[in-house]
Amino acid sequence: MELLGFIILIACLVVGVHYGGLGLAAVSGIGLVFFVFVVGLVPGKPPIDVMLTIMAVVTCSGFLQASKGLDVMLKYAEKLLRKNPQKITVLAPITTWFLTVLCGTGHVVYTMFPIIYDIAIKQNIRPERPMAVASVASQMGICASPASVAVVSMVAMLANTSAPLGVVQILTVSIPATFCGVVVAGLWSLHRGKDLAKDPAFQARIADPEQRAYIYEDQGESVANMKLPTTAYKATFIFLLGILVIALFGSFPKELLPLVPNAKGVWEPLSMTPTIQLCMLVIAAVILLVTKVKVNDVTNGSVFKSGMVAVVSVYGVAWMAETYFGAYLPGMKKTLGNIVLQYPWTYAVVLFFISKLVNSQAAALAIVVPMALSVGVQPLIIISFISACYGYFVLPTYPSDLACIGFDRSGTTRIGKFVINHSFIIPGLVGVVTGSCVGYIIAHILY
C-alpha cells in the first residue's frame, strides 16, 4: 500500500501539471481523497503559514505592477543592454536575473525577450545565445529574491526548526550561488550554436524576402523611451525601501522586532514569517495611498493572477504530500536519513526531480523541505542546495521558455527533434549545478 500510495502521488503530479497550477491542485485532491477514504490515512495539515505569506507577497507585487513600478525597472534594464550590445549574451541573463531578484517574479522576462532579440539580431549575434540563457536566469533569480514565493516559503518552513535560518541567511547563500550559476551559463552560451553567417538553416530562411523582413522587423516602441508617470518611480522606491526594511528585520531581529511569547511562554522576537506578511501588506498599502492605483488593475494583472494560482497549487500539492509522507515517513526515516546524511547531494537530486514534476519552485520546496527536515536533514544542507529547486527547464513546457521560442523570430531558439535536446537544457544544467556547488561551499563557510 505504501508503494501504491507513492505511485498515486507521482501520478497526480504528472497528470496535474499538464493542466497548470490550478489543475495540479485539483488533481492533487484526487490523491488526497484516495489516501484518506481508501487507504485510511489521517489528513495532513495544509501549509497555512506558507500560503498566507505567498498571498501577502503576491498582493504587494501586484500593486507594484499596477502602479507601473515594474516598468521603471525594465526601462533601466533596457538602457543597460542597449549601451552594451556586444556583451548581450552575458548581460542579458544577468539583467533578467536581477529583475527577478528585485521583483520576486520571473514574469518580467516576457517584456525583456523582444528587447534581447532586437539587440542580438542587429548585432548579428545568434539570438539563441542570449535569449535561452536569459529565460533560465529569470527563473534562477526566484530563489534569490526576498520577495519571491519560493524564498518566503522557505523562511516559513525553516522558522520552527531547532536551528532556524532566516531570510538573510538564505539570501547570503542563494544570491551569490545563483548569480555564479547565471554568469557561468552566460559564458558557456557565448559560442553555442553556429554563427548566423555559417548557419545554413538561418541563411535559407532569410533568402526569402518576406522571412528576412519578418526576422529583422523593428520591435516597436522600446521601454527605454517610454515616458512613465512620477507615481511609477515613487512605487518603485517604496517597494525597494520595503525590501530593505525586511532585510534589516532579518539581520537584527533582537534589536528591531517586538517580543512575543512562544508556545512555551518564553518571550522572543517576532518570527520572520508574520514579519514578512505584515511588511508586504504595508508596502502594498503605501503604494496604494501614494500612487492612487486602481485596485481592479491589481487583480487583473499577470503577477497577481499567477501568484494566486501558486497559492492554490501549493495548497493542493503540499496537503497531499503531507498526508502521504506524514503517514509513511516514520518507517522511511532511518533509511532515507542515512542516505541523505551520507550523500547530501541526493537531497538536491530529489528537489530537482520534484521541481520538474510540479513545474514550480515553491511547490517543490513545499513538498521536499518538510520531508527532508523530518528525516533529519540539516537546514544548512537545505539552503546549500536551494538552486536545485529549479528543474522545470528539463522539458520545454514552462511558459517563459515557450514565450522565448515564440519571440525568437530567427528560429534559432527551438525544441529539438528529440524534445529533450532543446535550447534551454544545457544552460539550465550549467546554471543549477554551478549554483548548487557554490551554494554548498558558501553555506559551509558562513554557517
Identify the pLDDT of residue 76.
Answer: 86
Indicate the angle between helix axes 149-158 and 302-342, nearest 10 degrees: 50
Instruction: Assess contact for 39 and 1: CB atoms under 8 A.
Output: yes
Amino acid at 355: S
Report the candidate in 173, 193, 179, 175 with the shortest Cα–Cα distance to residue 93.
Answer: 179
Dist. CA 287–CA 270, nearest whole Å: 25
For 301, phi then psi, to 5°, come to -75, 155
pTM of the predicted model, to two decimals?
0.74
- Number of domain units in the chain: 1
What is the C-alpha separation between 118 and 74, in angstroms, rounded?
A: 15
Cβ-in-10-Å burial (0-12, 13-18, 19+) of 79 comes to middle
DSSP 8-state secondary structure symbol assigned to residue 260: E
Which residues lie closer than 8 Å to 411 by C-beta, 6 or more apart? 201, 202, 205
Q: Are 172 and 178 in contact (CB under 8 A)?
A: no
Q: Give the three-class secondary structure for 207.
A: coil
Q: What is the pLDDT of residue 187?
A: 97
Q: What are phi and psi of 422, to 5 degrees?
A: -105, 180
Residue by residue, pLDDT tens for the chain (447 residues) are 778 888 888 888 778 867 766 887 898 899 999 999 998 999 988 878 778 877 888 888 889 889 988 888 888 888 888 899 999 999 999 999 998 888 777 767 877 888 899 899 989 999 999 999 999 999 999 999 887 878 888 888 887 777 667 788 899 999 999 999 999 999 999 999 999 999 999 999 999 999 898 888 865 556 667 788 999 999 999 988 988 888 788 778 788 889 998 777 888 888 777 888 899 899 999 999 999 999 999 988 877 887 787 788 778 877 887 788 778 766 665 666 677 778 888 999 989 988 877 777 887 888 888 888 887 888 999 999 999 999 989 877 677 887 788 888 898 998 877 768 889 999 999 999 999 999 999 999 988
3-state secondary structure 13-31: HHHHHHHHHHHHHHHHHHH
Q: Position of cell 557565448?
A: 190
**What type of residue is 123?**
Q
In 73-138, which ranges are E strands?
none
* Amino acid letter, 351: L
The DSSP output letter for 220 is -
Nearest residue to 370 (alpha-carbon basis) of 50, 147, 56:
50
Domain region containing 294? 2-446
Distance of alpha carbon 292 from alpha carbon 299, whole angstroms: 15
Query: Which cell goes with 383?
Result: 539552503
Separation of alpha carbons 270 and 261, rounded Å: 9
